[in-house]
Amino acid sequence: MKRLLTLVATLALVVAVRADAVTYKIDPVHSSVGFSLRHLVSKFSASFTKVEGAVTFDAAAPEASSVEATVSIGSVSTANEKREGHLKSPDFFDEAKFPTATFKSTAWKKTGENTFDVAGDLTIKGVTKPVTLQVTLLGTGPGMGGATVSGWEATTKINRNDFGVSYGPKILGDEVTLNIAIEAGHKPAAAAKS
């Protein structure tokens, strides 16, 4: 009987901890994935402007948090239509064959008051590699329609050749810096029905 009570108490504790987890839906209108790399002797920057997915964040147990995101390759923005077309071509991201890039977390580690190392699998052009994002929770607050909004930023560096993006080795650098800005919202069930 004592063992049964201990088991019930443990399960109740697990449920209570999981109750702290909140799932925020990524707002594609207010989120983006920027990238930059060397171009000759200067730097080239661009961004993907359509990002979808969700962040499930557990403030009480950050290691139980998770994130999944999908980036539309067709949303690449460089302020130059011809250059955008080239980036969508087989020379670079090959949008026709690989219309999206994805990230799925595998582990969260708290590194500061609002900072985390988030390990996960990044897939670009059908190639999946492990990466670690340095993530900052910028804050949470009230949003539109009763929603709670969370703001995040993340950064990491990858080698583009690891993902089969090897065009222009004499013109472009291999190391790519990713700068990610995410706004995501959570609407309680009661607010969602109203």
Q: Is residue 171 part of a domain?
A: yes
Distance CA 76, CA 125 (A): 15
User: How many other C-beta atoms are found inside a 10 Å radius of the C-beta of residue 180?
Assistant: 22
Q: Is the pLDDT of residue 17 over 50?
A: no
Domain ranges, residue 171: 21-193
Residue 174 DSSP one-character state: S
Q: Is residue 46 part of a domain?
A: yes
How many structural domains are present in the chain?
1
Average pLDDT of the segment spanning 108-117: 97
| pTM of the shown model | 0.85
Q: How confident is the model at residue 2 (pLDDT cuts 50, 70, 90)?
A: low
Q: Is residue 6 part of a domain?
A: no
The answer to whether residues 72 and 100 touch, using CB atoms and an 8 Å cutoff, is yes
Q: Is residue 186 part of a domain?
A: yes
Q: Is residue 88 part of a domain?
A: yes
The answer to whether residues 181 and 138 touch, using CB atoms and an 8 Å cutoff, is no
Q: Is residue 14 part of a domain?
A: no
Q: Is residue 9 part of a domain?
A: no
Distance CA 114, CA 151 (A): 11
Q: Is the pLDDT of residue 104 over 60?
A: yes
Q: Is residue 141 part of a domain?
A: yes
Distance CA 117, CA 109 (A): 5
Gyration radius of the chain over CA positions: 20
**CATH for 35:** 2.40.128.110
